[in-house]
Amino acid sequence: MIEAKRGWMCTIPTKQDWREITDGLGHRWEAALNTYKPFACGIVLHPAIDTAIQLRNEYHLAPAQIERVGLRVNPLVLELTGKQTPQKGLEGKFSVYHAVAVALVEGKAGEKQFTDRAVRDPEVVALRSRVSPIVDPVVKPEQVYMTVALTDGRRLTKHIEKAVGSVEVPMSDHALEVKFADLTDDILAPEQTRKLMDLCWNVESLSSAADIARAGAPTSVSRR
């Protein structure tokens, strides 16, 4: 299935380097390069979202203060997420305009920020029209340059080389817990979510991994 004429190595890559199959075998682990996604959308949007949230939190920004948001982004950003006026939550995941606006308004970009409610929120829609991305081939896919012009004349700038969630800037344990709790909201009661997280953090000490499955089963009491 790997080396045959129509095997994976012959049909997927245009050039084959057979050493990749065995070099570092047992010592190099590709799984170690996997990371957790902090935001509920394609990774091409993560640098812009991360930058927007950082600026919002650092300067305690309110949408009414923001006159314009300028971005210099990799061409892939507009190619994949150039939808300017999303009407449904799923469309919001393909809109850099929405992603930046909702990040500035709500300080998050989880599942709740890519719902029909979020893309139709009047405050988000108004700010979305003031987001202006510009393509720059020099900017790498994992980078972004953002300038936020405020109504008081200030201009806030920030450049991100690697967004949170990358191998270089992994999510903290606290950030993972916040994301997990946000995903289980309206499914599990808060105390059940806390217990489930504790079990996961201490999985190596459990007598059975089935304890996690049982702890994660919704009950009539935990549903809202």
List alpha helices for 1-148, DSSP H.
8-11, 19-22, 46-59, 75-81, 89-92, 96-106, 116-119, 122-128
Q: What is the overall mean pLDDT for the chain?
A: 93
Q: What is the DSSP letter of 172?
A: P
Neighbours of 141 (CB within 10 A): 15
Amino acid sitting at position 30: E
| Strand order across the beta sheet in which 155-160 lies | 131-135, 66-73, 144-150, 155-160
Q: What percentage of the chain carries pLDDT values higher than 90?
A: 81
SS in 3 state form for 57-85? HHHCCCHHHEEEEEEEECHHHHHHHECCC
Residue 220: pLDDT band with limits 50, 70, 90: low
- Measured between alpha carbons, how far is 39 from 95 in angstroms, rounded to an integer? 13
- Residue 125's identity, in one-letter code, is V
Q: What is the pLDDT of residues 19-66, one digit of tens each?
A: 878 889 999 888 888 899 999 999 999 999 999 999 999 999 999 999
Q: Using only C-alpha atoms, what is the Rg of the chain?
A: 21
Q: Where are the domains of the chain?
A: 43-160, 173-215
Q: Which of 134, 98, 140 lies closest to 119 in space, CA to CA?
A: 98
134, two tokens: 């510009």
Percent helix, strand, coil in the chain, to 5, is: 45, 10, 40
Instruction: Report the topology of domain 43-160.
Output: 60s Ribosomal Protein L30; Chain: A; (3.30.1330)
CA 24 from centre of chain = 31
Examine the pLDDT at 223 and tell me if it is beyond 70.
no
The structure's pTM equals: 0.85
Q: Pick the more confident residue, 18 or 119.
A: 119
Q: What angle do CA 215, 220, 223 make, to 5 degrees?
A: 80
Q: pLDDT by residue (tens digit) across 156-207?
A: 999 999 999 999 999 999 999 999 999 999 899 999 999 999 999 999 999 9
Contact in structure between 183 and 113 (CB atoms under 8 Å): no
- Asked if the model's pLDDT at residue 90 lies above 50, the reply is yes
Closest CA to 127 of 204, 62, 201, 33: 62
Confidence of residue 99 (pLDDT cuts 50, 70, 90): very high
Between CA 161 and CA 20, with CA 168 as vertex, the angle to 5 degrees is: 110
CA dihedral sign, ordered 56, 61, 63, 65 = negative
pLDDT tens per residue across span 102-112: 999 999 999 99
